[in-house]
Structure 1
Amino acid sequence: MHSSSLTLRRFFCFNVSASASASTSSKKKPVVFLGSPQVSATVLDALLNSSASPNSNFEVAAIVTQPPSKRERGRKVLPSHVAEHALNWGFPSDLIFTPERAGEEAFLSNLRDLQPELCVTAAYGNILPTKFLKIPLLGTVNIHPSLLPLYRGAAPVQRALQDGVKETGVSLAFTVRALDAGPVIAYERVEVDDHIKAPDLLELLFSEGSNLLIRELPSIFDGSAKEKAQPQDDSKVTLAPKVTPEESWLSFDQEALVLHNKVRAFAGWPGTRAKIAVFDETNGQREILELKIITTRVSNRGNIQRNEDDDITFIKGALVIPCGGCSELEVLEVQLPGKKVVNADAFRNGLRGRKLKKL
């Protein structure tokens, strides 16, 4: 737990001018890192650790991240995960910048004062204007969690899982004004497990991306990365638009595999939700429950005969929901509004004999 004085120091020191603290070593190339969520901290760790090695020829001269925002269910305004992580490393608070927009002149002035050789972005979350991209001598490189030109956009991991891909990867590419369209320096392929969820896959890809970045830094610094970087094939572009809360509803008219992939893709945020009917046969009462569907699998019992009443049944460890195409979705974990996540057996016990039907 951080003290209130430390929290205040963090809030008031983010946007202090860097000019007073930009005394970087003349022997080391200044690199500026841009990132915001927890997965970005993996990349920051890799850069800080590599820069601290005896034979390193670069240093992290500054960090750029999103401004403090409401987190922990909106109760507190807190620094971004990357800002918090950097401060825990002992990184100078006056070299952590949190502009609302990356095109703000005061911020760009501070960035110019640092004279960065290279900028590195990893899930920064802000559009970089041309006047930003012109500042670093060697350009800006981005770690993107897909095999570009596939899944350009804000939600590459979620959309890839939603599509049920068996393979994805992470790309290291130069940043240009067009979204995720720059030449690709290198990439790493990753097999996708049938049950991995978006947060875990995202963490894995940024871990691989960190290794890729450190491996390719020498070629970026000596200029050979510019020569070997491959232009993207625009004919193969697919897009990964931002996920919206409205997409979180499940429709059991779709096949179980489609729904299972959606549950994996939207895990964490926004999650997946469904409405089911609860019947009490003793008094005939009917109630509609809204459930958050946490963990699923596709039933391997083969094709089934759809019962007329669309009953939701139970097997050990799962509630079984009939879906489109004579398929079944086995739901292993659920969450009621305001309650903790429970497994299917615990949920069944809470029904006290009442029956479930899909709507």
Structure 2
Amino acid sequence: MNSALMLRRFICVNASATLSSVAPSPKKKPLIFLGSPQVSVTVLEALLDASSAPNSSFEVAGIVTQPPARRDRGRKVLPSPVAQYALEKGLPSDLIFSPEKAGDEAFLSTLRDLQPELCVTAAYGNILPTKFLSIPLHGTVNIHPSLLPLYRGAAPVQRALQDGVQKTGVSLAFTVRKLDAGAVIASKRFQVDDQIKAPELLSLLFSEGSKLLIRELPSIFDGSAKSKAVPQDDSEATLAPKIAPDEAWLSFDQEAFVLHNKVRAFAGWPGTRAKVLVLDDKSGQQNEVELKVITTRICQSTEVLNGEQDCVTFKKGSLVFPCGGGTALEVLEVQLPGKKAMDATAFWNGLRGQKLKKL
């Protein structure tokens, strides 16, 4: 592998500690894994564990992930969580690829040399072109955290929570050129708790998705999965577009259930924010403050709505914000800029008698 390939490589500190599951073995079917964020690590871990079993028919022959990026609040350029995990497990650095695009010719040439029988994606974060999809013998399969054809796209869990769904799930589907439109090999349905947030639900769905994958690998390798996979009904498809940072702001003109669902959906990234006014009756001073709203619930009591329309009150450990339609939202946890997260009681006590109004 010469430098002309122009592929980023990672330096493996302990290159001698290689995994037996990824050592070249002509007897095992080569599989390539594509993933990037922390939730993808769960899937890679399951594949490595399964490939190391005595009766395993496959090996993880390579890993494809996003290039290193700034993490830890932008201070350091670090490899993706998947790359970090692979290096910690002793995966040889020349088996970890991070092309800028999955259609890069140098990368595709390397992929062809590996002769994969199957590619598996789990939150890889890059579009796979036709010339990529034509390489693996048995195709490419994807773990998608929704019940396809619902919520096709970049943010299925976030958009499902934002919509307030009571049921969702995870699908194992073949990858085709059209976004998340391939035939579904298997799926699993779950009830959605009305307090669960996106990071927790994502973790659950990818964990269960990895179990579906390991269960179905034999049928994928022997070809029977293609005959049993169920084509999606495009007429029932819904989209889950990528979240924009400016969606993070809360508008208290909306009803409480809309805001509560948004807080759950955008937890982790980009988070949800609100602007409030802090008033000091003694000095007459007014300060506008930005709050990151972390945890909420829908207020079930009408007693808290008897004050001024814009006044935020405090009751039983929560900040109560009047919302649209005569509803109210209880905010249980907040964070001020540059500060650590705190519960509503600590924030209210810090006001020292000052009033709070929503903006």
CA distance in 1, matches of 2:301, 2:223: 57
**Number of the residue aligned with 1:148:** 148
Give 1:316 deviation, angstroms: 2.1
> What TM-score, normalized by structure 2, do the two folds share?
0.93
Q: Secondary structure at the match of 1:77?
A: strand
1:25 is displaced (CA, Å) by 1.4
Alignment of 1:319-330 (within 5 A): 319-330=319-330
> What residue ranges of structure 2 are gaps of 5+ in the alignment?
1-7, 14-21
Any idea what the Cα deviations from partners look like across 1:285-334, whole Å, max 9, x if unmatched? 11111100000000111486564442100012101000011111000000
TM-score normalised to structure 1 length: 0.93
8 A Cα contact 1:183 1:232, kept in partner: yes
Q: What is the DSSP-based 3-state SS (H/G/I as helix, E as strand, rest coil) of the residue aligned with 2:242?
A: coil
Contact 1:142 1:172 in 2 (8 A): yes
Distance in 1 of aligned mates of 2:309 and 2:64: 56
Moved over 6 A (4+): none
Structure 1 counterpart of 2:88, one-letter code:
N
| 1:137 Cα offset (Å) | 0.3
Percent of paired sites with the same residue:
74
CA–CA distance in 2 between the matches of 1:259 and 1:52?
A: 46
User: Is the Cα contact below 8 Å between 2:305 and 2:328 reproduced in 1?
Assistant: no
SS at match of 2:50: helix
Q: Within 5 A, what are the aligned runs for 1:9-158?
A: 10=10, 24-158=24-158
Aligned residues: CA RMSD: 1.6
Q: 3-state SS of the aligned residue for 1:87? A: helix
Structure 1 residues 260, 97: closer, same or farther in 2, change over 3 A? same
Equivalent residue number for residue 357 of structure 2: 357
> Aligned pair in 2 of structure 1 residues 9, 121: CA closer, same or farther (>3 Å)?
closer
- Superposed, 1:328-343 pairs within 5 Å as 328-343=328-343
C-alpha distance after superposition, 1:214-270 (max 9, x if no partner): 000011011110000111001100000000110000000111111000000000100
Q: Deviations over 1:163-197 (max 9, x none)?
A: 00011000000000000010000001011111000
Deviation at 1:11, TM superposition (A): 5.1
Q: Distance in 2 between matches of 1:350 and 1:9?
A: 50
> Per-residue CA shift, 1:28-65, capped at 9, x if unaligned?
10000000000000000000000000110000000000
Partner of 1:202: 202
Decide whether the 8 Å contact of 1:152 with 1:179 is kept in 2.
Answer: yes
Contact preservation (8 Å) 2:168, 2:189: yes
Partner Cα distance (1:317, 1:207) in 2: 34
The one-letter amino acid of 1:334's match is V
User: For residues 237-316 of structure 1, what are the structure 2 equivalents within 5 Å?
Assistant: 237-302=237-302, 305=305, 307-316=307-316
Q: Deviations over 1:269-291 (max 9, x none)?
A: 00000001111010111111110
* Letter of the structure 2 residue corresponding to residue 241 of structure 1: P
Whether the 8 Å CA contact 1:50–1:56 is kept in 2: the answer is yes
1:111-135 CA distance string (max 9 Å, x none): 1011000000000001101110000
